[in-house]
Amino acid sequence: MSQVQTPVAGLELRTAVADAYAEVLSGDALHFVEKLCCEFQPQREALLRRRRERQREFDEGKFPDFLSHTETVRQAEWRVASIPADLQDRRVEITGPTDRKMMINALNSGANVYMADFEDANCPTWHNLIDGQLNLCHAVDGTIDFTNSEGKKYRLNETTATLMVRPRGWHLPERHVCLEGHPISGSLFDFGIFFFNNARKLLEKGSGPYFYLPKLESHEEARLWNNVFVMAEDELGVPRGSIRATVLIETIPAAFEMDEILYELREHSVGLNCGRWDYIFSMIKKFRRHPEFTMPDRAQVTMTTHCMHSYSLLAIKTCHRRGVHAIGGMAAQIPIKNDPQANERALDAVRADKVREVTDGHDGTWVAHPALVPLAKTVFDAGMPSPHQISRRRDEVVVTAQDLLTVPQGQITEQGVSHNVDVALQYMAAWLGGNGCVPIYHLMEDAATSEICRAQLWQWVHQPNAVLSDGRKVTAELVRGVFERQLGRLKKEVGTERFAAGHYQTARQLIEDIVLRDDFMEFLTLVGYEHLD
C-alpha cells in the first residue's frame, strides 16, 4: 500500500491507496475533481439547506404542488436533444454494483443497458468505490476479466450492454477525500473520476459518458448537475452535450417538477426513470408528521395503487412530450431454484408488471438479475416492436396534485411489522460488512427497500392511527419485541459463529435507535456510513 500524494492545493486523501488504483486516482484526475468541488460545493450545500427548509414546510402542512413560477416551462412546446444511437433502444436495463464478476455478467446479460451503481446497490467502502472505478475503466477498455476460485473464467462478449453509471446522490459525502478539511461530495467524486478516466475513450468508441442521477428533489438540483456537465465537458475539451443523463424520479417533490427537470437538463437528458422503491420511502419521509399519510404494509403499496400508477403515467406523458424515454421500475426477483412452482409464481408477477409498463407506454424497464432479461425482453418485444414508443404522447392523461398525494388503502399487519424488521436487519448487517446488494427471500434488496422498512416502522410507532389489523397499536414496546425475536431467529439460522462476525448486533442497535427516536433520520446510509472503514 502507498499513500497517493495529490498535487492539488487543499485536496487531501485520508486513506492509504493500493498502487493498483493509481491509474484511476492520478494527480490529473484528482485535480479535475478538486476543480468541480471548488466550483459547485457551495451550490450543493445551499440546495441541501433548501431540502431542510422544504421539509419544515411539509411538516407544517404545506404540501407540494406543481410550481406556479415555472408554468411557462410546462406549457411551452420544447424538446430535449436528440437521443444517441446506442441509447435509442433501452427496452431492458439491468442494474447492479460495480463488482468485477457481476459487471461482466451484467454487460453480457443480453440487456440493452447496464447501470453500474455507486449508490443504493453499493456499500461505499473505499475499496468498493475505487475497485469499482478500476473495473469500469477495464470494462470501457474491453479488457475486464475475472477468474473465480474454481478456475472459471469470465470475459466480455463481442456485443455488450451500453454502459451507464449512477453516482451517489447529492446528500452523500466522500469522507476519504477532503477539501479544506471537509469531506467532498460523493456525487462529484464518483462522477468526476469516471468522467475524467473514460469520457474520451467512450466517445472514440461511438458511445458516450452516460449517467443515472439519483435522489433529486427539485429542478434546481437538476440545474446543478447540468452546470457540472457543462464545466466537465469544457475542461476535457469534449463536445457540449456529450454527457447524457437519465434522472430517477424517486422523490415526491421531483414528481411535481418532471418537466422542469428535463428542461434544465435538455442539452444532456435522455429521459426519466420511475424509481419506485425510493419513491415510496420519500412519501413516508416527507409527510411523516401527518397521520393521514400513514402507509399500509409495504407489500400493499404496488404500482397499481392510484398514487403510484398516476406518477408512472405522468412520467410517460412528460417524457414523450419532450422526446425522451420513460423507463419503468425494478423487477427485484431472483431465481428460486429449489421451488419451481414458487419460481413460476414470481415470474408471473414480473410478467404482469412488465405488461403493465409497456402497455402504459414505458420505453424500457429494469431488472436486477440476468435471468429476468429474456422475460422482460419478450414482453417488451411483443408490446413495443419499435426501439421505443416516444410517439405515444399520452395527451389524454391528466394527473393532479391530489392524484399524486392519494395514500394507498390497506392494513398494517403484524407480519408486515416483522417483515420490515427482518429485512432491515439482514440488509444492514450485510451493508456494514461491505455488501450493498443483498439477496433476501428471493428478492435482490438494496438500500431503497431497507429505507422503506425502517421508515414505515418509524411512522407506525409515531402515528396514533397506526393500528394493526387485530386492533393493537404499534408501540415502541411491540417493535422492540419484534427486534428481539427476529435477532434470535437469525442467530439460530446463521449459527453462533457467523452471527458474531456478521454485524447483526450493530445493525439492530442502529435500526432500532433510528426507528424509536423522536426525530426522523433522513438517510439510513448516512448513519451507517460512520461505521464503515
| Residue 165 · residue 212 · CB < 8 Å | yes
The Cα–Cα gap between 278 and 451 comes to 8
Q: Give the C-alpha separation, 117 to 132, whole Å.
A: 9
The two beta strands, 153-155 and 145-147, are antiparallel
From the list 57, 385, 2, 32, the residue with the least C-alpha distance to 189 is 32
User: Are the beta carbons of 507 and 528 closer than 8 angstroms?
Assistant: no
Q: Do the Cβ atoms of 279 and 249 come closer than 8 Å?
A: yes
CA dist., res. 530 & res. 515, Å (int) = 18
Q: What is the DSSP letter of 449?
A: H
For residue 470, indicate whether it is catalytic: no
Cell numbers linked to 303: 404500482
Query: How far out from the chain centre does Cα 51 lie?
Result: 18
86 φ, ψ to 5°? -85, 5
- Strand ranges (DSSP E) for 385-526? 438-440, 443-445
Candidates 166, 266, 288, 322; catalytic one: 166
Q: Is 183 exposed, middle or buried (0-12, 13-18, 19+ CB in 10 A)?
A: middle
How far is 67 from 75, CA to CA, in rounded Å?
A: 12
Given a contact cutoff of 8 angstroms between Cβ atoms, the answer to whether 183 and 219 are in contact is: no
The one catalytic residue in 259, 360, 422, 446 is 446
Count Cβ atoms below 10 Å from residue 63 Cβ, excluding itself.
17
**Directed axis angle between helix 100-107 and helix 126-141, to 10°?**
40
Active site residue 422: no
**What does the chain come to in residues?**
533
Q: Do residues 458 and 520 lie in contact, with contact meaning Cβ atoms separated by under 8 Å?
A: yes
**Which residues have C-beta within 8 Å of that of residue 241, sequence separation ≥ 6?**
81, 233, 267, 268
CA distance linking residue 31 with residue 8, whole number of Å: 6
Residues contacting 481, CB < 8 A, separation 6+: none
Q: Which residues contact 103 (CB under 8 A, 6 or more apart)?
A: 96, 114, 116, 135, 136, 139, 144
Residue with cell 475513450: 201
Of 120, 116, 149, 150, give the one whose Cα is nearest residue 131.
116
CA proximity to 357, closest of 329, 385, 332: 329
* DSSP annotation of 76: S
- Residue 474 and residue 495: Cα distance in Å, rounded? 30
Distance from C-alpha of 15 to C-alpha of 129, rounded to nearest angstrom: 13
Active site residues: 166, 446
